[in-house]
Amino acid sequence: MGEHAVVYGQPAIAVPVAGLRARATVTAAPAGSGIVLVARDLGTTWRIESANQQISQSEALPFVVAHTLRHLGVLGTPDLRIELTSDLPVASGLGSSAAVAVALIRALAGHFDRCLEPAAVSALAFEAERLQHGTPSGIDNTVVAYEQPVWFVRGQGMETFTVGQPLRLLIGDTGLTSSTREVVGDVRAAWQGEPARYEALFAAIGQVSHLARQAIEQGDLPALGRLLSENHGLLQELGVSCSELDRLVAAATSAGALGAKLSGAGRGGNMIALVEPETSDAVAAALRATRARQVVATEVA
């Protein structure tokens, strides 16, 4: 809850998605081979000749490696082979870039027998998020690093809170990729052109987040469902939804979901629906019938 508005100081809520993981393994490589980073899902291999080399915007993963090694105080360029895989679809609003960054950071720290606290992991991952997304809120790296439901206000850090009743969520994938950097940039340009209108929308989204936290803590699922749908409507007004997302949201609510909304930057990626045990199968079937590429079920307790 609270996408886009969180960039402008409003609160947001995020929860970890159990069962979808990014995984990194680090092993010693032959002497003189340098650092080889293999991203199997992307079909890409990078060779990092120096931990101090300049990294471009398109090379966020090598940046994570070099930045983490500097943070760990690793001298020179160690000989390493790093292999990375991920269950999360890329550019889809599920925080895949943050998950991959956190996996790399933890794997590198473990290889050098270092234990990093979640706050340090989150801070390192945030630097990669900035490289990829321009002006990220910081919520993705925070919820992934802590693996807990969080209440987040930019500049004030994060706060965990109690879930009064388990939340059953279905995640529907449009199959469309979306650039967070571009969408966030478009919202910023629109805000600069009509500041009063967009600040009112951001404030309304922030109010929805406040009410949603109360509903989650009280276990009031019907109220939370209504707020999810209200949040989606406000994101539509911001111009960050798309016809594919809107169709999946409508299909979910028509099939019995308590509420539904897009997730992440928008204009593609995923939507989420809040369901009850007796409606979960029907909503999942409706999402598939509306051409969701994938439907993932998860529970937040």
Q: Pairing between strand 80-86 and 35-39?
A: parallel
Q: Is 250 exposed, middle or buried (0-12, 13-18, 19+ CB in 10 A)?
A: middle
- Residues with catalytic function: 140
In the block, tokens 């169709």 appear at 247
* CA 133 remoteness from chain centre: 12
Contact (Cβ atoms closer than 8 angstroms) between residue 34 and residue 76: no
CA distance 56 to 68: 16
CA distance 261 to 256: 14
Residue 255 pLDDT greater than 80, yes or no:
yes
Token pair, residue 9, equals 């100081």
Residue 126 pLDDT greater than 60, yes or no:
yes
CA distance 16 to 163: 13
Q: Do domains 22-146 and 162-300 have the same CATH topology?
A: no
Residue 9 pLDDT greater than 60, yes or no:
yes
- pLDDT at residue 270, as a whole number: 93
- pLDDT at residue 53, as a whole number: 59
pTM tops 0.85, yes or no = no
Q: Which CATH class is domain 22-146?
A: alpha beta
- Say how many CA atoms lie within 13 Å of 170 toward its Cβ: 33
- Say how many CA atoms lie within 13 Å of 106 toward its Cβ: 18
Terminal Cα-to-Cα distance of the chain (whole angstroms): 17
Residue 246 pLDDT greater than 60, yes or no:
yes
Q: Percent of the chain, pLDDT > 90?
A: 68
Contact (Cβ atoms closer than 8 angstroms) between residue 202 and residue 12: no
Which pLDDT tens digit goes with each residue over 192-209? 999 999 999 999 999 999
CA distance 142 to 124: 10
| Per-domain residue ranges of the chain | 22-146, 162-300
Beta bridge partners of 46: 37
Beta bridge partners of 152: 12, 158
Structure letter (DSSP) for residue 276: -
Which pLDDT tens digit goes with each residue over 66-76? 889 999 999 88
CA distance 186 to 197: 15
Q: Which CATH class is domain 162-300?
A: alpha beta
